[in-house]
Structure 1
Amino acid sequence: MQQAQVEAFFDDNTNTFSYLVIDPETLACAIIDSVLDYDAASATTSTQHADQIIGYVQKHQLTVHWILETHVHADHLTAAQYLKSRLGGKIAMSDQISQVQRTFSKIYNLDIKGINADQHFDYLFSAGEHFKIGQLEAYGLATPGHTPACLSYVVGDAVFVGDTLFMHDYGTARCDFPGGSAEQLYDSVQKLYALAETTRVFLCHDYLPASRQHYVFQSSIATQKNCNIHIHTGVSKNKFIQMREQRDATLSMPKLILPAIQINMLAGTFPKPEANGERYLKLPLNYFSSVSSD
């Protein structure tokens, strides 16, 4: 089985791992789950994290073919547009992004017809669709549950799972965002567990439980199947759904969800400038408090 070279870049402000997936033969690469730095207090963006990736690409003379998103992130802004402007490549994710765009267009009162007519992603993968990174064989594995548009990327002997799984000592992703489903997440994890047990699993986040001192970004299918505290072999679907829904009911909203989703569901595109030349984010006042109390 082909083995990709994988380089991880950690953003400690959002506990996010971004990846460069490199074909060592051709030096073609893909960037997965990039981060645009964002200061919520001042609504200011910067590019320190993305610039680390750019520096590595340029130093090693890599060619970016793809800028991939595993899902519409709620905890950080994507740097996809900035990276494309500097390095090229196609911004891509699951074709189920339309579900997320439709749902959140209503929440933000955005023009869904305009979004459909001017799709900001360069390419949308259907479930199971194959593609290449240089000579590396890759395909998208639909893994909804955390969001309807979650897509894990299988590249040679590696899989990039987004927020579907965390480290085995931390468990699985929440499923209480609009369109999320604990039942779907269970089924999605079973798809991942059907991969070869030696498959390397690369995680989008690590939240450093009290049981260890160091951040970790890589696991394996065998380790997850045997040791994941939420969904190891032998955990029934009903038991998992009950655990996940009870746990999700105790979680607060991610701090950056409101700015992040309206940017990320448009492939990292900022809102158009208004008459004064400034760009503005929208915040739906009291929307989620009213939803959670229903």
Structure 2
Amino acid sequence: MKFSRSSRSRGDGSPDVTGFYDDDTGSIQYLVSDPDTKRAALIDVLLGFSPESASVDTASAEAILRYAENEGLEIDWILDTHPHADHLMASSFLKKRLNKPNGIGNRVVEIADLWRDYYNLPHAFDAPADFDHLFQDGDTFNIGNLPVRVMLSPGHTLGSITYIIGDDAAFVHDTFMQPDVGTSRADFPGGAASDLYRSLQNILKLPDNTRLFVGHDYGTEYRKLPEWEATVGEQRKHNGHIGGGVPEDVFIEQREARDKTLALPDRMLHVLQMNLRAGRLPDAETGEKRFLKIPLNAF
């Protein structure tokens, strides 16, 4: 983990948010809390994974837990926005460590159906067993006194969800990127640029001052340091792919053309096999040895 940055509460109904940047994958992990009650949730926290050695470490998750403890926060929720293709989810590890519930969108069940065929693992991936909550569009819960609303936001995956927390924060994962970058890819199995466009438009219906926290940033030629926060108003006006009211057909043509130039994430075939189990490693087969099954020539 390279560094962190905090976005403090703006007052009643507004959460404190700290983002933790993972340099290896350009991912941002979030700790969001109610400043009045000190209750908190973790969103999209990861485990370290080396594709070269197929090794796993808990350093990033452990560092975030230490930060939460130092801030006097009590973590009540372990949340993910979708089964990630570029990093290994820490959901299962954190659930065991904290004895707190974990959650993801309920359409992870459909995503698992797609990937069983790719991996030729017909009996793998039992989402209701690995996740305590499979959220549907419109579901609500609380972090302390802060209300949370779940919004289905497909496109990057068919089951991606957004968490709208309090009055002015939304965790929009791989939909928007920072305004000077644009939007996220939509070419993974089950993804679609047309779905992504509609998800982007739904997010832009939130109040203009809503802070949008994105899932990834890699810096740019002109901006060396990563960023992960912009308001709805800023995205509506300045987003490089959709700002200023770009029509759907133009967005789809540009998004699909861009996606054709992108390589698969180097961790995808490794980590999805675990992320569809909430980041749980495969069961041990011989002694303590665990194995992944990687499809050849499938992509």
TM-score, normalised via structure 1 length: 0.94
Shift of residue 21, structure 1, vs aligned partner: 0.6
- The alignment partner of 2:46 has SS state of coil
Question: Unmatched 5+ residue regions in structure 2?
Answer: 1-11
Kindly indicate whether residue 156 of structure 2 is the aligned counterpart of residue 132 of structure 1: no
For residue 224 of structure 1, what is the amino acid of its counterpart? Q
User: Does structure 2 conserve the Cα–Cα contact (< 8 Å) formed by 1:67 and 1:92?
Assistant: yes
The alpha carbon displacement at 1:60 in A equals 2.5
**2-structure distance, mates of 1:247, 1:39:** 27
2:289 maps to 1:254:
no
Mapped partners of 1:117, 1:13: distance in 2 = 27
**Aligned pairs for 1:115-126 within 5 A:** 115-116=125-126, 119-126=129-136
Residue type at the aligned position of 1:136: L
Measured after TM superposition, the shift of residue 61 of structure 1 is 2.9
Decide whether aligned partners of structure 1 residues 216 and 118 sit closer, same or farther in structure 2, where only a CA change above 3 A counts. Answer: closer
Say whether the 8 Å CA contact 2:219–2:226 is kept in structure 1: yes
Q: Does 1:198 align with 2:205?
A: no
Is the CA contact (8 Å cut-off) linking 1:54 and 1:87 kept in structure 2? Answer: no
Q: Is the 8 A contact 1:54 1:83 kept in 2?
A: no
SS at 1:9 equivalent: strand
SS in 1 for 2:97: helix
Residue 35 of structure 2 corresponds to residue 32 of structure 1: no
Cα offset, 1:118, TM superposition: 5.6
Could you give the per-residue CA deviations for residues 171-197 of structure 1, whole angstroms, max 9, x where no partner exists?
A: 111111000010000000000000000
Match of 1:90 in 2: 101
Tell me what 2:178 maps to: 167
Following the alignment from structure 2 to structure 1, what is the Cα–Cα distance between the partners of residues 19 and 258? Answer: 29
Equivalence map 1:102-121=2 (5 Å): 102-112=113-123, 115-116=125-126, 119-121=129-131
Q: CA deviation at 1:232?
A: 1.2
Q: Percent identity among equivalent residues?
A: 39
- Name the CA distance, whole Å, in 2 between partners of 1:115 and 1:210: 40
What amino acid is aligned across from residue 155 of structure 2 in structure 1? Answer: G
Whether 2:152 is the aligned partner of 1:142: answer yes
Query: Residues 239-294 of structure 1, C-alpha deviation per residue, up to 9 Å, x if partnerless?
Result: 00000111111111111101111111111111111134311011101111xxxxxx
AA matched with 2:108 = I
Equivalent pairs, count = 287
What's the offset of the Cα at 1:117? 8.0
**Deviation (angstroms), 1:134:** 1.0
Secondary structure of the 1:119 match is helix
Per-residue deviation at 1:116? 3.9
Work out whether residues 208 and 214 of structure 1, in 8 Å CA contact, stay in contact via their aligned partners in 2.
yes
Tell me which moved more, 114-123 or 60-69: 114-123
- Structure 1 runs (4+) deviating above 4 angstroms are none
CA distance 1:204–1:286, shift in 2 (3 Å): same
Q: Contact (CA 8 Å) 2:109, 2:127: kept in 1 or not?
A: no
User: For 1:35 and 1:3, how far apart are their aligned partners in 2?
Assistant: 25
- Structure 2: how far apart are the matches of 1:209 and 1:128? 35
**1:1-294 to 2 correspondences below 5 Å:** 2-112=13-123, 115-116=125-126, 119-156=129-166, 157-288=168-299
- Tell me how far apart the structure 2 counterparts of residues 153 and 251 of structure 1 sit (CA, whole Å): 27
Q: How much does 1:9 deviate?
A: 0.9
**How far apart are residue 234 of structure 1 and its match?**
1.9
SS in 2 for 1:166: coil
Deviation at 1:115, TM superposition (A): 3.4
Q: What letter matches 2:132 in structure 1?
A: D
Alpha-carbon RMSD across the aligned residues, in angstroms, is 1.3
